[in-house]
Chain A
Protein backbone atom coordinates (compact mmCIF):
# COMPACT_ATOMS: atom_id res chain seq x y z
CA UNK A 1 0.00 0.00 0.00
CA UNK A 2 1.21 3.53 -0.66
CA UNK A 3 2.57 5.57 2.24
CA UNK A 4 -0.41 7.89 2.12
CA UNK A 5 -2.98 5.11 2.38
CA UNK A 6 -0.95 2.99 4.79
CA UNK A 7 -0.77 5.79 7.35
CA UNK A 8 -4.57 6.01 7.59
CA UNK A 9 -5.61 2.37 7.28
CA UNK A 10 -8.68 1.84 9.51
CA UNK A 11 -9.14 -1.23 11.70
CA UNK A 12 -11.07 -4.36 10.69
CA UNK A 13 -14.02 -3.37 12.91
CA UNK A 14 -14.50 -0.25 10.84
CA UNK A 15 -14.65 -2.30 7.63
CA UNK A 16 -17.17 -4.68 9.19
CA UNK A 17 -19.31 -1.62 10.00
CA UNK A 18 -19.06 -0.43 6.38
CA UNK A 19 -19.97 -3.94 5.19
CA UNK A 20 -23.06 -4.02 7.44
CA UNK A 21 -24.02 -0.55 6.18
CA UNK A 22 -23.78 -1.72 2.56
CA UNK A 23 -25.93 -4.79 3.32
CA UNK A 24 -28.52 -2.48 4.91
CA UNK A 25 -28.57 -0.32 1.75
CA UNK A 26 -29.20 -3.46 -0.37
CA UNK A 27 -32.09 -4.41 1.95
CA UNK A 28 -33.47 -0.87 1.64
CA UNK A 29 -33.33 -1.10 -2.16
CA UNK A 30 -35.39 -4.31 -2.13
CA UNK A 31 -37.83 -2.80 0.40
CA UNK A 32 -38.37 0.29 -1.80
CA UNK A 33 -38.90 -1.89 -4.89
CA UNK A 34 -42.06 -3.34 -3.35
CA UNK A 35 -43.45 -0.01 -2.09
CA UNK A 36 -46.07 1.80 -4.17
CA UNK A 37 -43.60 4.19 -5.80
CA UNK A 38 -43.88 5.50 -9.34
CA UNK A 39 -41.35 4.14 -11.85
CA UNK A 40 -39.42 7.42 -11.91
CA UNK A 41 -39.38 7.79 -8.12
CA UNK A 42 -38.17 4.20 -7.71
CA UNK A 43 -35.45 4.69 -10.32
CA UNK A 44 -34.28 7.91 -8.63
CA UNK A 45 -34.23 6.23 -5.20
CA UNK A 46 -32.38 3.14 -6.46
CA UNK A 47 -29.80 5.22 -8.33
CA UNK A 48 -29.22 7.42 -5.29
CA UNK A 49 -28.66 4.35 -3.10
CA UNK A 50 -26.40 2.71 -5.73
CA UNK A 51 -24.27 5.87 -6.01
CA UNK A 52 -24.06 6.02 -2.20
CA UNK A 53 -22.96 2.37 -2.07
CA UNK A 54 -20.34 2.83 -4.76
CA UNK A 55 -19.02 6.04 -3.16
CA UNK A 56 -18.59 4.22 0.17
CA UNK A 57 -16.91 1.31 -1.63
CA UNK A 58 -14.52 3.49 -3.62
CA UNK A 59 -13.58 5.72 -0.69
CA UNK A 60 -13.19 3.08 2.04
CA UNK A 61 -12.89 -0.43 0.53
CA UNK A 62 -10.65 0.84 -2.29
CA UNK A 63 -8.90 3.29 0.05
CA UNK A 64 -9.24 6.24 -2.33
CA UNK A 65 -10.13 8.49 0.60
CA UNK A 66 -6.69 7.81 2.08
CA UNK A 67 -4.74 8.47 -1.12
CA UNK A 68 -3.46 11.90 -2.12
CA UNK A 69 -6.18 14.36 -3.07
CA UNK A 70 -4.72 14.80 -6.56
CA UNK A 71 -5.03 11.04 -7.11
CA UNK A 72 -8.60 10.88 -5.79
CA UNK A 73 -9.89 13.79 -7.87
CA UNK A 74 -8.00 12.79 -11.04
CA UNK A 75 -9.74 9.41 -11.03
CA UNK A 76 -13.19 10.43 -9.81
CA UNK A 77 -13.66 13.60 -11.88
CA UNK A 78 -12.73 11.92 -15.15
CA UNK A 79 -15.26 9.10 -14.58
CA UNK A 80 -18.00 11.47 -13.39
CA UNK A 81 -17.44 13.80 -16.38
CA UNK A 82 -17.76 11.00 -18.96
CA UNK A 83 -20.85 9.52 -17.27
CA UNK A 84 -22.51 12.94 -17.12
CA UNK A 85 -21.85 13.49 -20.82
CA UNK A 86 -23.68 10.23 -21.58
CA UNK A 87 -26.90 11.78 -20.25
CA UNK A 88 -27.45 13.44 -23.61
CA UNK A 89 -29.29 10.30 -24.78
CA UNK A 90 -32.44 10.87 -22.70
CA UNK A 91 -34.32 13.28 -25.01
CA UNK A 92 -34.03 10.72 -27.80
CA UNK A 93 -35.12 7.85 -25.52
CA UNK A 94 -38.27 9.76 -24.49
CA UNK A 95 -38.90 10.65 -28.14
CA UNK A 96 -39.04 6.93 -28.91
CA UNK A 97 -41.88 6.40 -26.43
CA UNK A 98 -44.08 8.74 -28.46
CA UNK A 99 -43.11 8.03 -32.07
CA UNK A 100 -41.64 4.51 -31.81
CA UNK A 101 -38.16 3.20 -32.55
CA UNK A 102 -36.86 4.26 -36.01
Chain B
Protein backbone atom coordinates (compact mmCIF):
# COMPACT_ATOMS: atom_id res chain seq x y z
CA UNK B 1 0.00 0.00 0.00
CA UNK B 2 1.38 3.38 -0.94
CA UNK B 3 1.97 6.13 1.62
CA UNK B 4 -0.67 8.44 0.10
CA UNK B 5 -3.39 5.78 0.39
CA UNK B 6 -2.60 5.10 4.04
CA UNK B 7 -2.70 8.86 4.78
CA UNK B 8 -6.11 9.10 3.10
CA UNK B 9 -7.40 6.16 5.15
CA UNK B 10 -6.11 7.82 8.30
CA UNK B 11 -7.99 11.04 7.46
CA UNK B 12 -11.09 9.01 6.70
CA UNK B 13 -10.99 7.50 10.17
CA UNK B 14 -10.48 10.96 11.73
CA UNK B 15 -13.47 12.42 9.88
CA UNK B 16 -15.80 9.55 10.75
CA UNK B 17 -19.14 11.09 11.83
CA UNK B 18 -20.05 11.20 15.52
CA UNK B 19 -22.34 8.32 16.57
CA UNK B 20 -24.43 10.91 18.44
CA UNK B 21 -24.60 13.27 15.46
CA UNK B 22 -23.38 16.29 17.45
CA UNK B 23 -20.16 18.26 17.72
CA UNK B 24 -17.76 17.29 20.49
CA UNK B 25 -18.29 20.60 22.36
CA UNK B 26 -22.02 20.04 22.45
CA UNK B 27 -21.62 16.44 23.66
CA UNK B 28 -19.20 17.67 26.33
CA UNK B 29 -21.75 20.23 27.51
CA UNK B 30 -24.41 17.51 27.68
CA UNK B 31 -22.08 15.33 29.78
CA UNK B 32 -21.42 18.30 32.09
CA UNK B 33 -25.15 18.95 32.36
CA UNK B 34 -25.77 15.27 33.23
CA UNK B 35 -23.18 15.37 36.00
CA UNK B 36 -24.45 18.74 37.30
CA UNK B 37 -28.04 17.47 37.28
CA UNK B 38 -26.93 14.58 39.47
CA UNK B 39 -25.11 17.01 41.80
CA UNK B 40 -28.23 19.14 42.22
CA UNK B 41 -30.28 15.95 42.56
CA UNK B 42 -28.04 14.79 45.41
CA UNK B 43 -28.26 18.05 47.37
CA UNK B 44 -32.02 18.24 46.85
CA UNK B 45 -32.33 14.65 48.10
CA UNK B 46 -30.15 15.62 51.09
CA UNK B 47 -32.41 18.59 51.84
CA UNK B 48 -35.52 16.39 51.49
CA UNK B 49 -33.98 13.78 53.81
CA UNK B 50 -33.46 16.40 56.55
CA UNK B 51 -36.90 17.91 55.98
CA UNK B 52 -38.72 14.57 56.20
CA UNK B 53 -36.72 13.64 59.30
CA UNK B 54 -37.51 16.93 61.11
CA UNK B 55 -41.16 17.19 62.20
CA UNK B 56 -40.73 20.82 63.34
CA UNK B 57 -39.24 22.06 60.05
CA UNK B 58 -39.91 25.85 59.73
CA UNK B 59 -42.18 27.37 57.07
CA UNK B 60 -40.99 30.96 56.93
CA UNK B 61 -42.08 32.13 53.47
CA UNK B 62 -45.01 34.56 53.43
CA UNK B 63 -47.07 34.81 50.22
CA UNK B 64 -46.96 38.59 49.87
CA UNK B 65 -43.20 38.86 50.06
CA UNK B 66 -41.16 35.70 49.50
CA UNK B 67 -43.49 33.58 47.34
CA UNK B 68 -44.46 36.44 45.02
CA UNK B 69 -40.78 37.42 44.75
CA UNK B 70 -39.80 33.83 43.90
CA UNK B 71 -42.65 33.63 41.34
CA UNK B 72 -41.35 36.76 39.61
CA UNK B 73 -37.81 35.31 39.69
CA UNK B 74 -39.14 32.09 38.11
CA UNK B 75 -40.90 34.06 35.36
CA UNK B 76 -37.70 36.04 34.71
CA UNK B 77 -35.65 32.87 34.37
CA UNK B 78 -38.23 31.25 32.05
CA UNK B 79 -38.29 34.42 29.93
CA UNK B 80 -34.49 34.40 29.75
CA UNK B 81 -34.67 30.87 28.32
CA UNK B 82 -36.99 32.18 25.59
CA UNK B 83 -34.65 35.07 24.76
CA UNK B 84 -31.76 32.58 24.69
CA UNK B 85 -33.67 30.44 22.18
CA UNK B 86 -34.19 33.53 20.01
CA UNK B 87 -30.44 34.28 20.24
CA UNK B 88 -29.56 30.74 19.12
CA UNK B 89 -32.13 30.77 16.29
CA UNK B 90 -30.86 34.14 15.02
CA UNK B 91 -27.22 32.99 15.24
CA UNK B 92 -28.05 29.85 13.28
CA UNK B 93 -29.49 31.77 10.33
CA UNK B 94 -26.62 34.27 10.33
CA UNK B 95 -28.44 37.27 11.88
CA UNK B 96 -25.55 38.26 14.08
CA UNK B 97 -26.87 41.64 15.31
CA UNK B 98 -30.25 40.15 16.21
CA UNK B 99 -28.56 37.28 18.02
CA UNK B 100 -26.41 39.71 20.00
CA UNK B 101 -29.49 41.72 21.02
CA UNK B 102 -31.21 38.58 22.31
CA UNK B 103 -28.03 37.53 24.10
CA UNK B 104 -27.92 40.97 25.73
CA UNK B 105 -31.55 40.57 26.84
CA UNK B 106 -30.68 37.16 28.34
CA UNK B 107 -27.73 38.65 30.22
CA UNK B 108 -29.92 41.48 31.59
CA UNK B 109 -32.58 39.01 32.75
CA UNK B 110 -29.89 36.86 34.38
CA UNK B 111 -28.51 39.90 36.23
CA UNK B 112 -32.04 40.89 37.30
CA UNK B 113 -32.62 37.37 38.67
CA UNK B 114 -29.34 37.50 40.61
CA UNK B 115 -30.12 40.96 42.05
CA UNK B 116 -33.61 39.85 43.18
CA UNK B 117 -32.13 36.73 44.73
CA UNK B 118 -29.46 38.64 46.63
CA UNK B 119 -32.06 41.18 47.81
CA UNK B 120 -34.12 38.31 49.21
CA UNK B 121 -31.05 36.84 50.90
CA UNK B 122 -30.24 40.15 52.61
CA UNK B 123 -33.85 40.47 53.72
CA UNK B 124 -33.54 37.01 55.34
CA UNK B 125 -30.20 37.90 56.94
CA UNK B 126 -31.91 40.99 58.39
CA UNK B 127 -34.63 38.74 59.87
CA UNK B 128 -31.96 36.67 61.61
CA UNK B 129 -31.53 33.74 59.20
CA UNK B 130 -28.05 32.41 58.48
CA UNK B 131 -26.32 29.12 57.69
CA UNK B 132 -26.46 28.20 61.38
CA UNK B 133 -29.30 30.31 62.81
CA UNK B 134 -33.06 29.86 62.73
CA UNK B 135 -35.00 32.80 64.28
CA UNK B 136 -38.26 30.80 64.28
CA UNK B 137 -36.87 27.97 66.40
CA UNK B 138 -36.57 24.36 65.27
CA UNK B 139 -33.83 22.83 63.16
CA UNK B 140 -31.01 25.15 62.10
CA UNK B 141 -30.51 22.93 59.05
CA UNK B 142 -33.14 25.02 57.22
CA UNK B 143 -30.73 27.94 56.77
CA UNK B 144 -27.85 25.63 55.87
CA UNK B 145 -29.82 23.81 53.17
CA UNK B 146 -31.65 26.88 51.84
CA UNK B 147 -28.58 29.08 51.45
CA UNK B 148 -26.42 26.20 50.15
CA UNK B 149 -28.84 25.11 47.45
CA UNK B 150 -29.93 28.58 46.35
CA UNK B 151 -26.28 29.72 46.62
CA UNK B 152 -25.09 26.95 44.33
CA UNK B 153 -27.84 27.83 41.87
CA UNK B 154 -26.98 31.53 42.08
CA UNK B 155 -23.35 30.66 41.38
CA UNK B 156 -24.52 28.85 38.23
CA UNK B 157 -26.57 31.89 37.17
CA UNK B 158 -23.61 34.26 37.67
CA UNK B 159 -21.30 31.85 35.82
CA UNK B 160 -23.85 31.65 33.02
CA UNK B 161 -24.06 35.45 32.74
CA UNK B 162 -20.25 35.66 32.51
CA UNK B 163 -20.18 32.85 29.92
CA UNK B 164 -22.89 34.58 27.85
CA UNK B 165 -20.95 37.87 27.90
CA UNK B 166 -17.69 36.14 26.86
CA UNK B 167 -19.37 34.12 24.09
CA UNK B 168 -21.34 37.17 22.94
CA UNK B 169 -18.17 39.25 22.62
CA UNK B 170 -16.38 36.40 20.82
CA UNK B 171 -19.35 35.96 18.47
CA UNK B 172 -19.44 39.70 17.78
CA UNK B 173 -15.81 39.87 16.64
CA UNK B 174 -16.07 36.59 14.74
CA UNK B 175 -13.77 34.53 16.96
CA UNK B 176 -16.60 32.19 17.98
CA UNK B 177 -19.31 30.74 15.73
CA UNK B 178 -23.00 29.99 16.27
CA UNK B 179 -22.21 26.56 17.75
CA UNK B 180 -20.70 28.29 20.79
CA UNK B 181 -23.88 30.33 21.22
CA UNK B 182 -25.94 27.13 21.07
CA UNK B 183 -23.70 25.26 23.53
CA UNK B 184 -23.82 28.16 26.03
CA UNK B 185 -27.57 28.23 25.53
CA UNK B 186 -27.79 24.59 26.62
CA UNK B 187 -26.10 25.53 29.89
CA UNK B 188 -28.44 28.48 30.38
CA UNK B 189 -31.55 26.31 29.86
CA UNK B 190 -30.17 23.82 32.36
CA UNK B 191 -29.82 26.58 35.01
CA UNK B 192 -33.47 27.41 34.31
CA UNK B 193 -34.52 23.74 34.70
CA UNK B 194 -32.77 23.35 38.05
CA UNK B 195 -34.81 26.29 39.36
CA UNK B 196 -37.97 24.40 38.34
CA UNK B 197 -37.17 22.01 41.22
CA UNK B 198 -35.69 24.54 43.65
CA UNK B 199 -38.78 26.77 43.51
CA UNK B 200 -41.40 24.15 44.55
CA UNK B 201 -39.18 22.20 46.96
CA UNK B 202 -37.53 25.10 48.82
CA UNK B 203 -40.13 27.84 48.53
CA UNK B 204 -43.59 26.37 48.02
CA UNK B 205 -43.12 23.42 50.41
CA UNK B 206 -41.94 25.93 53.05
CA UNK B 207 -44.68 28.50 52.49
CA UNK B 208 -46.39 29.78 55.64
CA UNK B 209 -50.10 28.90 55.62
- CA gap between A26 and B79 in the complex, in Å: 13
- CB of B162 within 8 A of chain A? no
- CA gap between A54 and B33 in the complex, in Å: 13
Contact between B189 and A68, CB atoms less than 8 A apart: no
Q: Enumerate chain A residues within 8 angstroms of B45, measured Cβ to Cβ.
A: 86-87, 89
- Interface size of A by Cβ–Cβ distance < 8 Å? 52
Contact between B193 and A57, CB atoms less than 8 A apart: yes
Contact between B209 and A34, CB atoms less than 8 A apart: yes
- CA gap between A34 and B71 in the complex, in Å: 14
Contact between A75 and B53, CB atoms less than 8 A apart: no
Q: Enumerate chain B residues within 8 angstroms of A34, measured Cβ to Cβ.
A: 63, 207, 209
- CA gap between A78 and B32 in the complex, in Å: 13
Q: Which residue of B lies closest to A43 (CB)?
A: B205
Among A50, A58, A75, A94, the residue within 8 A (CB) of B197 is A50
Given contacts A34-B209, A93-B53, is CB(A67)–CB(B20) below 8 Å?
Answer: yes
Q: Enumerate chain A residues within 8 angstroms of B74, measured Cβ to Cβ.
A: 26
Contact between A71 and B199, CB atoms less than 8 A apart: no
Shortest Cβ distance from B109 into chain A, in angstroms? 13
- CA gap between A90 and B49 in the complex, in Å: 7
Among A16, A33, A87, the residue within 8 A (CB) of B207 is A33
Can you list 13 A-B contacts (CB < 8 A)? A9-B92, A26-B74, A26-B199, A47-B200, A57-B189, A58-B189, A58-B193, A71-B21, A71-B27, A75-B34, A87-B45, A96-B52, A97-B53
7 nearest A-B pairs in the assembled complex, by CB-CB distance: A96-B53, A46-B200, A93-B52, A71-B20, A2-B22, A33-B204, A53-B196
